[in-house]
Amino acid sequence: MSTVDFRAELAKAGANVDSRWSALAFFARRYPLGAIGAAIMALFVFAAIFAPLITLYDPLTTNASLSLARPSAAHWLGCDFMGRDVYSRIVYGARISLAVGIGATLLGGGIGVLIGLSSGYFGGWLDLAAQRLIDILQSLPLIVMALLMAASLGPSLHNTIIAISIALIPSSARVVRASTLSLRELQFVEAARAIGMSEVRIAVRHVLPNTLAPLIVLGTAQLGATILIEATLSFLGLGVPEPHPSWGRMLSESAAEYVRTAPWLVIFPGLAISAVVFGTNLLGDAVRDILDPRQRG
Amino acid sequence: MGSYLVRRFGLMVLTLFGISVIIFVMLRVAPGNIADILFDAAGFVDPSEKKAIMVQLGLDKPLVVQYLTWIGGLLHGDLGYSYVSDRPALAEILPRIPVTARVAGLALVFAVLIGVPLGVVSAVKQNTKLDYLLRVVSLSGLSLPAFWLGLLVLMAAVAWFGTIPIYSEAPKTFWAALGMYSIPAAVVGFRSSALMMRLTRSSMLEVMRQDYIRTARAKGASERVVNYRHALKNAVLPVITVIGLEAAFLLGGLIVTETVFNIPGVARFLIEAIRWRYYPIVQNIIMYIAIIVVLINFTVDMLYAALDPRIKYSE
């Protein structure tokens, strides 16, 4: 099992690890694609945090006279049917994507960790029950499970996060269970038991931290998928509702009509989704190569 | 092997029971029951008529009875009644199955023909410029939302040919059908080929690290023979075993692509049913999807056990 020890790994690889910046520079040289991904993600997070500072218009203010206005100096990416500035909506939309992406990944991952850790560590009937639950949750494709949950809960920002997180539970539960199964046989667990630590404490303090590496790999890989699912749900009208500026929602139903009349309404939100998901995927691959060398491809 | 099959079959039935309960419960807690929705649509509320509809739909019975009635109907092919089109749901779904199957089949052909060879090339030429290029292409295939890719294709068609190639009427000849379905199939297939390429590449790299590959090289086999005879054969098996994953991915692409291209398939029907909040039909279609996925995984497990002599099932 690999633990997360950047410094030692870096020193072994011959990097100058005196400062944080030189370590970063080393990563950037070693994983150029990962660095591009990280840069895209940084831009995305920056846009989400500083949205009011880098936009001129309110993303929700409608203006009938600007309905379907073409891209211009005043409105760089044009305006939508309601006359709302597309650039502002895309920048503010980063907040929605980030909230759903991180929220659902953490929530689903957290529940998955709880299930995986307890079933892997304690075994017995708990493990059997957990495995059946995972099987059941996995019998529907990710997107269909998210659709079912979203249809059931109704469209709202919170419900979208919950719906997607339920679909994400099985993968993290499986990853944590698999590492826990091998970790619990190791000597440091026995040693902790010998000094009288309680089982729950061993599981949380000693086993859990050692499952972090595969979890981080999974989490980065899932972040992109989560953002994509949110966009898809919103596109279908089942995710984040109006007036929130969700990228998927901006492309919804009438998109096929705008293909002919207002292509800027189709191109830019889609470009934003693709760029961010591409960034997370690049970053995810690099994180996997760094933390889980056995899977390196 | 025999006892493994029985045990695996039992687990499959248990899983299907579990997911059927989840689907049933989730759609019961969904906001607004069908009687309310029908009455909202009609615009007036007469409590006695509403009660009559609830009785007719069996909504007044206990949940367990409703569940058993649903499962019974499902097993007999009774999928309920579509109030939107005023026809039995089965009559609505049956003609849509071949449409979806054609698009899915074409997309699968596309995904395998593109994804597997490129994945092999990418692995054989690992860490060359070609490999980097192919990896970026496959990664972008996984990053583009399926619906956006579909919209871009529509946009390109408008720009170059001045028409939108969306489904307007049923194609009459084989070639018309091929033309009609191949564009959405290519859109779905491109994304699936990206996944296929990544899986093939990593599986191939895994195999190329094995001792028997070194042995093959040591005995003087040519690079070609080593790569294609020894490595590829062993690398294909793991790619087949995740076909359930691939099918699920393909389905995800189909749901939105059918909507974008206006194709009258099952996936779009599911979305329409959700939009109309016609949950009896949603419930049935999702249950059928679960059955298909679980059956595919069961078949793959059985095939795997039969094909790979290294796997023993003694539990």
Whole-angstrom distance, CA of residue A129 vs CA of residue B80: 33
CATH of domain A31-295: 1.10.3720.10
Whole-angstrom distance, CA of residue B141 vs CA of residue B130: 16
pLDDT band of A149, cuts 50, 70, 90: very high
Q: Compute CA distances B134 → A138, B15, B71, B125, whole Å.
A: 30, 38, 47, 10
Is any Cβ of chain A less than 8 angstroms from the Cβ of B271? yes
What confidence score (pLDDT) does residue A272 get?
94
pLDDT at A229 over 90: yes
Taking an 8 Å cut-off on Cβ atoms, the answer to whether A277 and B31 are in contact is: no
Taking an 8 Å cut-off on Cβ atoms, the answer to whether A270 and B151 are in contact is: yes
Q: Compute CA distances A87 → A41, A72, B102, B149, whole Å.
A: 18, 11, 39, 21
Three-class secondary structure assignment of A27-86: HHHHCHHHHHHHHHHHHHHHHHHCHHHHCCCCCCCCCHHHCCCCCCCCCCCCECCCCCEH
pLDDT at B271 over 60: yes
Read off the DSSP letter of residue A15.
-
Is any Cβ of chain A less than 8 angstroms from the Cβ of B292? no
- Please name every residue paired with B81 in a beta bridge, in sequence order, or none if there are none: B88
C-beta neighbour count of B16 within 10 angstroms: 18
Taking an 8 Å cut-off on Cβ atoms, the answer to whether B164 and A259 are in contact is: yes
| Nearest-Cα residue of chain A relative to residue B282 | A148
pTM of the model: 0.87
What confidence score (pLDDT) does residue B66 get?
85
pLDDT band of A294, cuts 50, 70, 90: low
Domain boundaries, chain A: 31-295
Is any Cβ of chain A less than 8 angstroms from the Cβ of B29? yes
pLDDT at A4 over 90: no
For residues B56 and A207, the model is more confident at A207
Chain B contacts of A135, Cβ < 8 Å? 11, 14-15, 18
Whole-angstrom distance, CA of residue A164 vs CA of residue A103: 9
- Phi, psi (rounded to 5 degrees) for B220: 95, 15
Residue that the structure tokens 């989560």 belong to: A226
pLDDT at A295 over 80: no
Residues B43-95 have pLDDT tens digits of 556 677 777 777 766 777 788 888 888 888 888 877 777 766 777 878 888 88
Q: How many CA atoms lie within 13 A of A99 on its CB side?
A: 20
The verdict on ipTM greater than 0.90 is no
What confidence score (pLDDT) does residue A1 get?
43
Q: What is the mean pLDDT of chain B?
A: 82
What confidence score (pLDDT) does residue B252 get?
80
pLDDT at B181 over 80: yes
Residue that the structure tokens 């849509």 belong to: B96
Do residues A144 and B289 make contact, with C-beta atoms less than 8 angstroms apart?
yes
Reduce the DSSP state of residue B81 to 3 states and report it.
Answer: strand
Rounded to 10 degrees, the C-alpha dihedral A141/A144/A150/A151 comes to -150
CATH level 3 topology of B98-267: MetI-like fold (1.10.3720)
Whole-angstrom distance, CA of residue B212 vs CA of residue B235: 13
Taking an 8 Å cut-off on Cβ atoms, the answer to whether B15 and A236 are in contact is: no
pLDDT band of A107, cuts 50, 70, 90: very high
Which range, A253-257, B54-58, B224-228, B240-244, has the best average confidence (pLDDT)?
B224-228
Whole-angstrom distance, CA of residue A293 vs CA of residue B17: 39
Is any Cβ of chain A less than 8 angstroms from the Cβ of B18? yes
What confidence score (pLDDT) does residue A228 get?
92
Residues A47-69 have pLDDT tens digits of 999 989 888 888 888 888 888 88
Rounded to 10 degrees, the C-alpha dihedral B104/B107/B113/B117 comes to -110
Is any Cβ of chain B less than 8 angstroms from the Cβ of A33? yes
Q: What percent of chain A has pLDDT over 70?
A: 91
Whole-angstrom distance, CA of residue B151 vs CA of residue A147: 21
Q: Which amino acid is at B110?
A: F
Burial A221-249 (b: 16+ CB within 10 A, else e): bbbbbbbbbbbbbbbbbbbbbeebbbbbb
Taking an 8 Å cut-off on Cβ atoms, the answer to whether A297 and B30 are in contact is: no
Residues B126-169 have pLDDT tens digits of 888 999 899 989 988 889 998 899 899 888 888 888 777 677 66
Q: Considering only CA atoms, which of A108, A222, A114, A81 is closest in space to residue A165?
A: A108
Taking an 8 Å cut-off on Cβ atoms, the answer to whether B166 and A270 are in contact is: no
Do residues A280 and B142 make contact, with C-beta atoms less than 8 angstroms apart?
no
Is any Cβ of chain A less than 8 angstroms from the Cβ of B16? yes
What average pLDDT does range B193-200 have in this prediction? 90
Q: Which two tokens stand for residue A112?
A: 């998955």
Residue that the structure tokens 């099992």 belong to: A1
Interhelix angle for B2-28 vs B279-307, to 10°? 160
pLDDT at A211 over 80: yes
What confidence score (pLDDT) does residue B246 get?
79
pLDDT band of B276, cuts 50, 70, 90: confident
